[in-house]
Amino acid sequence: MFVLDHNELKSALNTVIAYTAKRPSLDILKDIKVVYKDQECTLYATDLEVYIGYKLPVAIPCLSDEEIAFIIPEAREFAKSIKIFGNEIKFSISETGVTITDGKNVISFARKAITDYPDDTWVSGYGNTYPYKYKVNGIELHNQYQKIKHAICKDDTRYILQSVLIDCDWMVALDGYQMAVIPLDSTLPVDVLASSRMLDNCNIMGDDATLVSDNNRFVLTNNKHYIAGCTIDAKYPQYTSVIPEIGSHSEAIVFNRKEMIGILNLFMVQGLKKNPNRAVIFEDGVMSFQISEFDDNIVKSSLSNEIKNTKISFNGERLLNSLRTQFTNETIYMSVWNSDRPIIIEDNIAENGFHLIMPIFIDKK
């Protein structure tokens, strides 16, 4: 028997259940493995793409030094069930079953064979067997990832574009229509192409984490938690080839971030949310959006800045997402070359990088 703090357990479950499979080919991928060892408790979860181990403190340790391992079935439902539990949650394990109680509420289930759970022993040897080992800041990786995740491809059939490229001192996300590029404070002398899901919770590693790799897989760890997965064996698009040469464009368009967000939010309400692929036209400081292709009902709004001799069309939702998450300065610079070349958005804050959006071509007929 051992006891866990309710808040510690809830926090751990909220993190690890994100890595259980929602519609698994194997039912056990909906479960999590619990291991009690050396007065510490570790929760493990995997969907066979990403593995996570989350260590949490034990409020009252077990009297025996024996290692205990068991499986909690249907982890997402279990996480919902313990919300009503009190501060201390007691785990009692027998040869045939597990009982979890706070003295008032009780959950019981039969023990599954621990050998049924996917093998993750390849992770445990990362400290000695992996040839590449680098110090990283898990919090910085997470914060920078949050800024560019809006550009990650949502299409499940384009698996490579659902990944994130860590290219030495840059982090890159793209979906074929837009690209977000952001610098990293911690330069890594290696290129890593990994599932974006590995970065979803890498902030749990804190600011003193380690990235270890052997070219086929890599592990983020702080010797307490780990998130591990296989590197994606594919060639990432040559993202640098679509960036126009710096200094080759005319003077950048300058606008206020909050003002542009307000205009795009208006367009979203008027119909852009239902038709995200419909073009927003920017002409001489006037934003316009045609609500339907079947009529001439057009929503217009003007920027306060005077802008002349500019006409471009692009996906307004992509610009809105980047203004909300990637940029923090209120002054935004939009570099425009011509109507058929990419648009680059920046805010002159180096750590926010830049966002590139491909134009939408309007049928002039």
What are residue 198's phi and psi, to 5 degrees?
-70, -20
In CATH terms, the superfamily for domain 131-240 is DNA Polymerase III, subunit A, domain 2 (3.10.150.10)
Could you say which of 3.10.150.10, 3.30.497.10, 3.40.50.720, 3.60.21.10 is the CATH number of the domain covering 244-357?
3.10.150.10
Q: Which of 89-98, 215-224, 229-238, 356-365 has the lowest mean pLDDT?
A: 356-365
What's the pLDDT at 291?
67
Tokens 């009190």 sit on residue: 86
What's the pLDDT at 61?
82
Percent of the chain with pLDDT over 70: 87
CATH architecture observed for domain 2-116: Roll (3.10)
What's the pLDDT at 248?
47
What are residue 269's phi and psi, to 5 degrees?
-65, -40
Are 131-240 and 244-357 the same fold in CATH?
yes
- The band of 134, judged by pLDDT with boundaries at 50, 70 and 90, is confident
CA distance 126 to 220: 10
CA distance 60 to 56: 12
CA distance 201 to 229: 13
276, 256, 279, 257: which is closest to 268 by C-alpha? 276
Whether the pLDDT of residue 363 is over 60: the answer is no
Percent of the chain with pLDDT over 90: 32
* Average pLDDT across the chain, whole number: 83
Residue range 16-62, pLDDT digits in tens:
999 998 877 788 999 999 999 888 899 999 988 889 999 999 888 88
- The band of 283, judged by pLDDT with boundaries at 50, 70 and 90, is confident
115 versus 213: the higher-pLDDT residue is 115
What's the pLDDT at 54?
93
What's the pLDDT at 365?
43
What's the pLDDT at 8?
92
What's the pLDDT at 74?
92
Q: Where are the domains of the chain?
A: 2-116, 131-240, 244-357
Residue range 299-325, pLDDT digits in tens:
787 777 666 667 788 888 899 999 999
Helix (H) or strand (E) holding 145: helix 138-148
211 versus 130: the higher-pLDDT residue is 211
- Mean pLDDT, range 135-148, rounded to an integer: 89
Residue range 252-270, pLDDT digits in tens:
788 899 999 998 888 888 7
Tokens 């780990």 sit on residue: 226
20, 215, 222: which is closest to 135 by C-alpha? 222
Residue range 147-187, pLDDT digits in tens:
999 999 888 777 788 888 888 788 899 998 899 999 887 66
Residue range 233-258, pLDDT digits in tens:
777 778 777 776 554 445 678 889 99
> 37 has which bridge partners?
40
Q: What is the dihedral of CA 228, 195, 114, 40, to 10 degrees?
A: 40
217 versus 41: the higher-pLDDT residue is 41
> 174 has which bridge partners?
179
Tell me how long the chain is.
Answer: 365
What's the pLDDT at 125?
58
- Mean pLDDT, range 98-102, rounded to an integer: 93
Q: What Cα–Cα distance (Å) separates residue 72 from each residue in 19, 22, 45, 53, 190?
A: 14, 15, 10, 14, 38
